[in-house]
Structure 1
Amino acid sequence: MEIRGFTESDRDELRVLARRAGAGAPTESLWGHPESEAAIYLDPYMDLEPRSLFVAVRDGALIGYLAGCVDSAAFPGEDQRIDEAIRRYRLIFRRGPAAFFGRAALDTVGAKLRRLPTAGEFTDPRWPSHLHINVADEGRGTGAADALISRFLEHAAAAGSPGCHLQTVVENTRAVRFFERMGFAAHGAEPLVPGLRYRGGRVHQRTMVRAL
């Protein structure tokens, strides 16, 4: 297995991998429209910060990837990327996404009435870097995830970043345990993620941080 930086020739294969990686996780698919989800969580990293994007390769095929950012303040925010995707793909006119965003709106209103927080972006100069990681089934148990995380943290530290954060969901216990093993610790509250459901239940955001 090889861990290396993203190259433009990886683009098409990486987009295919992104559609199937993370299978079975609560965030496997948000609203059932892979193209718009990739436009939020993959394409901007390929286009704007390819030097912080790493891939795991085995037998000539991609089996995992890590999309990262050294300085989140200099990168388009998640809310901005979601808004752009909604407009570009006309998601409110598509049945699956429209149902998701309608449910999200109801969840948000309900949380406000109960004076409860909802999930949002994380900004703190102590942990300015962030990452998203996905590994396909055939890459699990190979050490690919560990190696991708280590490679990115080395990259971020070399760039002068003092720390890194990530956001997952409380209900993805496997991911939480993995990130804890990689040195990340839970930080802050665990607010509701509006719209998202896993096995019929609501899910909650967990922010995790690690100093570099």
Structure 2
Amino acid sequence: MQVREFKDTDRTQLRALFERAGQGAPTESLWGHTDSEAAVYLDPYMDREPASLFVAEDAGKLVGYLTGCVNTAAFPGEDARIAEALRRYRPFRSRQAVAFFGRSTFDVLGAKIRRRTTAGELTDPQWPAHLHINVASEARGTGAAAGLMNLWFDRLRTERVPGCHLQTLVENGRAAKFFERMGFTPHGATPQVPGLRYRGARVHQLTMVRSF
């Protein structure tokens, strides 16, 4: 197992890994359209901040990756990335996409009526960096995830970044425990994530932070 910096020649293999790495997790599939989902959660990191992207490789095959951003405030926000991806790819011929965004609208309206917040991004100068990490099922428990995180931590220290945050799900207990082992602690409320369901139930955002 080798963990290393992303290279531009990894693009095709990394894109294929994006499609399968989250299998079994609550966020395995969002609206069921890989091109538009990658345009939100993978492509901008390859294009805008490749120095903050790391991969895990086993016998020449990519089995995990970490996408990062050292300054969230300077990176296009998630809502803007989703809007652009939907405009570009128009995935609404998929029944899953229609259902996802229909539920999302319903969830947001319901939260407003109940005067509750829904999931959103964290922008805080204490923890300006953020990350996403995915490891394929065959590489879980091998140390690949920890290796990716440690490379990311080295980059943050080199860039003198004071802290980092990530967002996972309360319902993804395995991920939360891993992040705690890597030094992250829960931060703030745990609002509902609009549109997303896991085993038929609503899910809730868990924000975690780590200082350096």
Fold shared per TM-score above 0.5? yes
Q: Corresponding residue for 1:163? A: 163
Q: Corresponding residue for 1:174? A: 174
Q: How does 1:86-101 map to 2 (within 5 A)?
A: 86-101=86-101
Q: How does 1:96-107 map to 2 (within 5 A)?
A: 96-107=96-107
Q: Does 1:133 align with 2:141?
A: no
User: What letter is aligned with 1:5?
Assistant: E
Q: Which runs of 4+ in 1 moved over 2 A?
A: 91-95
Higher mean C-alpha deviation, range 186-195 or range 153-162: 153-162
Cα distance per residue 1:152-180 (max 9 Å; x no partner): 01101211100000000100000001101
Which blocks of at least 5 consecutive residues in structure 2 are unaligned? none
Residue 66 of structure 1 aligns to a residue in which SS? Answer: strand
TM-score by length of 1: 0.98
What's the CA shift for 1:136?
0.3
What's the CA shift for 1:80?
0.7
Distance in 2 separating the partners of 1:179 and 1:22: 16
Q: Does 1:4 align with 2:9?
A: no
TM-score by length of 2: 0.98
Which blocks of at least 5 consecutive residues in structure 1 are unaligned? none
What's the CA shift for 1:95?
2.2
Residue 208 of structure 2 aligns to a residue in which SS? Answer: strand
Distance in 1 separating the partners of 2:65 and 2:82: 21
Residue 100 of structure 2 aligns to a residue in which SS? Answer: helix
Distance in 1 separating the partners of 2:207 and 2:154: 21
Q: What percentage of residue pairs aligned between the two structures are identical?
A: 65
User: What letter is aligned with 1:187?
Assistant: H
Contact 2:17–2:63 (CA under 8 A) maintained in structure 1: yes
Residue 171 of structure 2 aligns to a residue in which SS? Answer: coil
Cα RMSD after superposing both structures: 0.8
Q: Corresponding residue for 2:144? A: 144
Distance in 1 separating the partners of 2:70 and 2:111: 32
